[in-house]
Structure 1
Amino acid sequence: MHEHYADAIADPDCIRLAPDLVCLRFEVMKVRSALGAVRHLLDTGAVRPGDTLVDSSSGIYALALALACHRYGMRCHIVGSSTVDETLRVQLEVLGATLEQMPPSDDLMLDQNRRVERVGRLLLENPGFHWMRQYHDAIHYVGYREVAEQLDREVPTGPLTIVSGVGTGSSTGALGCYLRAAGRDVELVGIQPFGSVTFNAEHTADPDMIIAGIGSSIEFRNVRHELYDRIHWVSFEYARAGAVALLRDSGVFAGLSAGAAYLAAGWEGGRTAGRTVVFLAPDTGHRYVRAAFAAHAHVPGIADLSPHEVADSDGIALPWSVADRKALSASWRDPVPVAARAPSGSL
């Protein structure tokens, strides 16, 4: 029996959609990451019960950290994106977390910069706060060890291709690290929105982009570029088509990043035989009903959609592009200093 709701939803469901296609479906994916990080901070004495943990979030991490704080008796303060909706606000309030939400903005960079600046001011005003640094502290890799072990148990021995949003890098990066360390043959495929700086697509723009959680207008030092084999850039329209198709094909009701991953997973599965493709669905589709699902009758199917294969970042273009990571840049360095990586023995 689980001791807390956060424990109950932390682990995903493995759903086989086809012989060589698996959906790793989470209710709130970053709960596993937040639980692992907070538990490690408490175990090492970096924080104590009752301390205030603070971070910035566009949605999923806010609820994940609030639940982890509720689980371990911590206070939680979130500097939230303008995309945080009423459903999430109410949950945060009832859980005892406090939320500062940025004013509405159509500019992803402005929204993220405002949040980062506000966190900086909070830390100056409240030196006892602990900044979780979900974008930069590799402690967030730790919690995904259990997910990697579950996937290793449930998916038969053989080569894997893991497809998911890059985001802060912790989920996909950690799964790749742990599974490779366990001896699995893993290809790691990341999903990005247009405009994200993470893999050099800042010169592009998607006017309808509302999937900020899978990319960034600022550098995420938790992203270890060398872990990834291929990158897909997917527009809002194509991600929406993928999300609707995923629900229609399988019954899985998931968000826009899951839709983008489902779309890319289908293309990846058609490239090579003998690999099981696993794509992540990091949250449910409830907060995307109006933006993505309400007009489902007018959303095109995905059977005829295919990406534009590019040789370098200059070729990245809407609505869907793909490139081998090595072709994008030979100059990327590992942005996570060795001393900042996950604790010894965890990777």
Structure 2
Amino acid sequence: MIHPHIADALKVPDLVRLTDKIILIRFESMKIYSALAAVRHLLERGTIRSGQTVIDSSSGIYAYALALACHRHGLRCHIVASTTVDTTTLAQLEILGATVEQVSHSDNLKLDQELRVRRVREILSDHPSWHWMRQYHDDVHYLGYHEVADRIAAAFGGTALTLVGGVGSGASTGGLAERLRAKDPSVRLVGVQPFGSVTFGSQEHHDPEAIIAGIGSSIVFDNVRHHLYDTVHWLDFTHAMSGTVALLRDHAVFAGLSTGAGYLAATYEARRHPDRPHLVIGADTGHRYVERVFARHGEALDPAGLKPVEISAPAEMSTPWSRMPWPRTAWPTGRKEPEA
């Protein structure tokens, strides 16, 4: 097949068997699906037009995906980037034609995200014709994952499946689970979170090592649909790093930190539920984690000796790894989510 644009080629994932019960769905950059489908839908609906500027904030892979989608469809792109965006990604964004600005350096996830959202609002006040993509809040970002879900359903047939992935904005795990459950309601969804994320109530637990890009948030994301998740894992940086290094060492898979966290969670889940395959979402490659993760491989723990603390409520949570059933429950009534 000859693709009309590199984005169409890069978006397609590969399925890789890691063990009898764990399969990796490996993306070059997962959010290309989301960005392409969102941009195409907005163009078809007339919400945006060719040549217009779209804007959003990002910690990395969505920025790259949006820049590719804009390149493909003749749009201008402006990114307010996190301090976690590396020089390789920045260079690609600029060459693709995106304009990029990074917020002031911060080791605090909440401050980093708040600064980015504040800056986007400032820019929009000066450029009201620009369109804010709102990857964290606009459910148009669910659309692209329907195609991925159909590929998964075709590959697994009628097999009962557990999906494991970083929660992040909610669109990837949520979009896949909703589409898969339309045919098979038994599909389980396991979400992975870092400590410090408000999404499932771990904001009181600070992990000084990490901003685990893409799987957690210090502000409320409207695209997270809590009622889709069956189980949630919270892992600290060291455990996520250990899973990431183990993936490369044991399976030759060079993937990002969220993939390693998901792999560690899936390994535990597969021991508890050996009756079904566990599909781990590998959102990106490991290139932007070379210095922070792979160069420190000597510090990685042996996953065979790791297991979570089983809890029944967020108040019982403890580092470095906690696991809690979340039986497709909506955010608790009367419980106020932190404001963005």
TM over 0.5: yes
Aligned partner letter, 1:64: A
Partner of 2:41: 40
Q: Is the 8 A contact 1:232 1:264 kept in 2?
A: yes
Partner of 1:251: 252
Partner of 1:340: none
Q: Partners in 2 of 1:116 and 1:295 — Cα distance?
A: 32
Q: Partners in 2 of 1:184 and 1:151 — Cα distance?
A: 15
Q: 1:310 to 1:283 in 2, by over 3 A?
A: same
TM-score (norm 1): 0.94
Aligned partner letter, 1:290: E
Q: CA deviation at 1:103?
A: 1.3
Partner of 1:299: 300
Partner of 2:163: 162
Q: Partners in 1 of 2:179 and 2:160 — Cα distance?
A: 14
SS in 1 for 2:143: helix
Q: Is the 8 A contact 1:166 1:190 kept in 2?
A: yes
* CA shift digits 1:159-188 (9 cap, x unpaired): 111000000000000000000012252100
SS in 1 for 2:184: coil
Q: Is the 8 A contact 2:226 2:331 kept in 1?
A: no
Describe how 1:138-157 pairs up with structure 2 within 5 A: 138-157=139-158
Partner of 1:172: 173
Partner of 1:277: 278
Q: 1:225 to 1:297 in 2, by over 3 A?
A: same
Q: CA deviation at 1:202?
A: 0.6
Q: Partners in 2 of 1:71 and 1:49 — Cα distance?
A: 11
Aligned residues with identical type, % of pairs: 53
Q: Partners in 2 of 1:152 and 1:40 — Cα distance?
A: 23
Partner of 2:65: 64
Q: Partners in 1 of 2:197 and 2:157 — Cα distance?
A: 34
Partner of 1:29: 30
Aligned partner letter, 1:93: E
Partner of 1:268: 269
Does residue 107 of structure 2 align to residue 111 of structure 1? Answer: no
Q: Partners in 2 of 1:77 and 1:176 — Cα distance?
A: 31
Q: CA deviation at 1:252?
A: 0.8
Partner of 2:78: 77
Which runs of structure 1 show a deviation greater than 4 angstroms over 4 or more consecutive aligned residues?
A: 326-330
Structure 1: segments with no counterpart, 5+ residues: 336-347
Does residue 327 of structure 2 align to residue 319 of structure 1? Answer: no
Q: 1:332 to 1:292 in 2, by over 3 A?
A: farther
Q: Partners in 2 of 1:95 and 1:273 — Cα distance?
A: 45
- Measured on the aligned residues, the alpha-carbon RMSD in Å equals 1.7
Q: Is the 8 A contact 1:312 1:328 kept in 2?
A: no
Aligned partner letter, 1:97: A
Q: CA deviation at 1:273?
A: 2.5
SS in 2 for 1:162: strand
Partner of 1:15: 16
Q: CA deviation at 1:325?
A: 1.3
Q: 1:130 to 1:314 in 2, by over 3 A?
A: same
Partner of 2:127: 126
Q: CA deviation at 1:215?
A: 0.5
Partner of 1:3: 4
Q: CA deviation at 1:192?
A: 0.3
Does residue 198 of structure 2 align to residue 223 of structure 1? Answer: no
Q: Is the 8 A contact 2:194 2:212 kept in 1?
A: yes
Partner of 1:54: 55
Aligned partner letter, 2:105: P
Q: Partners in 1 of 2:152 and 2:330 — Cα distance?
A: 31
Q: Is the 8 A contact 1:313 1:328 kept in 2?
A: no
Q: CA deviation at 1:247?
A: 0.8
Structure 1 window deviating more from structure 2 (161-170 vs 270-279): it is 270-279
